[in-house]
Structure 1
């Protein structure tokens, strides 16, 4: 096979070179990161459904919507950015979620170790299993290529071994611990806030005036204010005689702190003070 010139690219499936076809465009996926031209992808997925990656000897299967345009020129950078984005969106705890700075540093070290494991392929299977257990135990929605169908639909499957393992891990974790899988240590316990009573701007002061009751007969009594009650000019300006009378009586009785009926039912005996008694 003739070697590629500098800056030239070739599709590994159809062997078409960009130098021969200037409009050749490539796409990649987030699993095997093989660069395949759009023509090969359209040809393979013409019948719909899932298909194996067109790259020779690759056995990974995808839906067509798993293929996307490459963002970075270097595929290693592309892979690292995608791995970090996925892990950071899953393990998204902040320093305030932990009981100490040391616990938060341990969490950052754990998250970075997961990134390196997936990036370098070191214990990648065990790392993915732990992440899946964390998602299952904490009720996170997983949007994966192998679970996503056409138009982003999710295939509903029965319980998997990962889900069973996550459920078993959640059974041994306290109910008030945020991470049901037990993967992240040092998190603050979930504290249910105390239910506060509704806000009372008057601080318990009653809205109803219990000092007096104005009856229809009482409002028609000769109080000397009939001129204001019958003045049409005051009524036009919004003056209300009943409200003015209530305000006047409230100011008169509010400072006494006693009620007439309570005073009538209680016999008060004034103390007898002699001339020789000290005050």
Structure 2
């Protein structure tokens, strides 16, 4: 498999090939939903630092999620406004409390806890949790029981962080003080490479990106079987239906496969 770790086909290139257009920005105000007549603009939100799903490349917001949502919305009656970016754990508050955005595209795992607050589109990706360690390091665990006396990191608000809490902290294998959370996995992996922590727990697709570009390796994978979906506010049934329909069209028409090959490589 050939994996593109530095997004060698940029979002701008993809949009040029498909004839699409989009505006990318750091902040935005949520669009007007549910109004009859005319186009309806929705504001998307994401959290860069989770390659290859969302990241900054030469100052531009790019990634699989960025391209996918733009392709999906292009198949609906909605228009996509400027992208707004946040720390990952600020996305749901931006959607539900401040209503700064209308949809989250950020490799967001569909979970029961999150479904108490927001709704989701149909799933578009499956993932597990990988444990990253230094490639040449002494710590090479084969399971959670091997973590006693270690320091572990994960991005705040992620399922990786939840796995650390449930499997290590709650079980008394490591202390709360030995668990570090970060605004992005890029920072967590930097700390791992620098020897400040011993392991990082992160989604498998992102782990693969880091192993291809950093001196880290996957020690083992925890089979969580999680699924990603676009996050929206509850009771936005029209938007939810439109996203699901657009996603199905993108999958059936081959665009999804093209984007997958662009960002994750192909056999």
| Superposed pair shares fold, TM > 0.5 | no
Instruction: Determine which structure has the larger strand proportion and give its number.
Output: 2
Q: TM-score range by the shorter chain?
A: under 0.3
> Normalising by structure 1, what TM-score?
0.20
**Greater Rg, structure 1 or structure 2?**
1
